[in-house]
A and B are shown apart, each in its own frame.
Chain A
Amino acid sequence: MELQWQLCSETNLTLFFPKPITLEKQQQCWALADTIQQMPEVLEVVIGMNTLSVFTVSLTWVELEAFKDNLSALLNDIPSKTINGKHVEIPVHYGGKYGPDLKTLATELGLSVEAVVKLHTEATYTVYFIGFQPGFPYLGGLSESLYFPRHATPRTRVPAGSVGIGGEQTGVYPFESPGGWQLLGQTDIPLFDLTKASHALLNAGDTLKFTAIDIYE
């Protein structure tokens, strides 16, 4: 599949890398984002999961066409960017009222609750990007044995700090919200805090490990 920018609104162009999701492609997204951020037509750039979304200022049709051409030219030789981010450990209460889906997920996967927690805590994850809600990290590096589909009907209320699995991804909800991920546990660590110099605890390129404070059946 040829890589090309898709016009998603009058002020949005999005690039989708073909599956599967890889860290290499994410590093290309990071590099492209740095370059594109500098372009005068750009309001902001949103990195997604092997995707890149460019929001422009208000442009005329002619300006938009020219801008799209400039963006496309960047795809001929895409650089890669390695981020040496910080490493963060997130302590989690697994299972019970903290992780209402842990037991069912373990059963469905044919694993014990302890085995699921072991797989989830032994991996080192890379923050691919922050999205969905303030400070929400999308993590790469989930063990394939833990891939599990989202709920068919999302919960109307997922508590703040919930740690979950959605398909091939795992992450933490910084704020209470509706959500469809399978909830394994909960952390007390705030992921977004306006009183801190760096508002979001995590940034793209950081690495993360979950640790188990306790495990409930």
Chain B
Amino acid sequence: MKILTTSALASIQDSGRFGYRSMGVDRSGVMDSWALQAGNALLKNDLNEPAIEIAVGSLTVQFEEDVSFCLTGALYEAYIDDKRIPCYWRINAQAGQTLKLLRPLQGMYSYLCVHGGFDIEPVLQSSSTNLKASFGGFKGRYLKADDVVKVRTDSSLRVIGVARLEPTNRIRVIKNSEYEYFTSASKAAFESQQWQLQSSSNRMGYRLDGTALEFNEAVQMSSHGVDIGMIQVPPQGQPIVLMADAQTTGGYPKIATVINADIGLMAQIRFGKNCQFVVVEVEQALREQQKRQHYIEQIKEYAHES
């Protein structure tokens, strides 16, 4: 398919690059892993098949082959030629048709998945774009007009739709290793207050604004491995939720970690909107993850039967 116009930050991402952190190479990958998996399951793809991740803005592409595709993640106002299409539905388009993603009505990150996948040469075992070091994905960068991204197969699947995960701004977290370093007032405020997502947020981190969190005493930490979902608190007290492009190691104290089941929901919160954190036990976090996996399995089964 050919990119005609884009005002969105659109990049090729899969579920991430693993095994190279000891070289300082971070995971990259999608912001909303459940949305990617749902899209791939719906299209009978491998769950890790790369998609085009589209953030916030508009994107127009022209198909150069017949494709079955779907849009998951953020709910976009989208059209095939002039016909409005729904998200979370398998849709068939013919060569020459134009797909226009106008704007997200809800959420931040959308995934354009195609049946058979995009023909992307993996780098260091992943098709994700490492935007910092400019490798992987499509030439190591965001997509722009006139780029041609090859699709692997011509295909036509029966048109079906599935449910998406209900969006929420109540994000569940587990305590991280420095939780006890915070004052009891701050521990309470962490959960009770509404945190506003700053527009300076990006694929590296979501910066939150609220009443500053305070430490019992100044904390100086040595650099250590960090990951998506971990919530760092720099000395000024405003938390940063590390996201998909987070660096491999960091040195700020971490109050909590967004549970794996909810990272995709966190990713979909829009700039200027609020979120609230709810501390849960690790055991529950793991059960919630299994529920999500079950949701993906259900889509997979339905997609295969249809």
Q: Which A residues form the contact surface with B (CB < 8 A)?
A: 6-12, 14, 16, 19, 21, 43-53, 55, 58-61, 64, 129-136, 138, 167, 169, 174-175, 177, 192, 194, 199-200, 204
Contacts and interface: CB of A to CB of B under 8 A. Distances in A.
15 contacts: A6-B176, A10-B259, A10-B289, A16-B221, A43-B18, A44-B22, A47-B225, A48-B222, A59-B286, A60-B286, A61-B283, A64-B286, A130-B24, A134-B24, A192-B23
Given A7-B282, A134-B25, A44 B257 contact: no
B140 to A, nearest CB: 9
B23 to A, nearest CB: 5
B224 to A, nearest CB: 4
Contact of B224 (A51, A60, A169): A51
Given A8-B177, A45-B22, A175-B133, A131 B285 contact: no
Nearest to A59: B286
B237 to A, nearest CB: 13
Contact of B247 (A43, A133, A192): A133
B223 A194 contact: no
Contacts of B254: 8
Interface of B: 18-26, 123-124, 130, 132-133, 135, 174, 176-177, 220-227, 229-230, 247-250, 254, 257, 259-260, 282-283, 285-287, 289
B292 to A, nearest CB: 11
B22 A194 contact: no
Nearest to A33: B22
B24 A55 contact: no
Contacts, number: 145
Given A9-B176, A61-B282, A135-B23, A48 B227 contact: no
B289 A58 contact: yes
A131 B282 contact: no
Nearest to B173: A9
A132 B133 contact: no
Contact of A9 (B21, B174, B283): B174
Contacts of A135: 23-24
Contact of A177 (B132, B250, B283): B132
A132 B248 contact: yes
A127 B221 CA distance: 19
Contacts of B23: 130, 134-135, 192, 199-200
A49 B285 contact: no
B21 A46 contact: yes
Contacts of B130: 134
Nearest to A198: B23
B285 A10 contact: yes
B225 A46 contact: yes
B259 to A, nearest CB: 7
Instruction: Name the residue among A19, A49, A174 with the largest chain B CB count within 10 angstroms.
Output: A49
B123 A55 contact: no
Nearest to B248: A131
A168 to B, nearest CB: 9
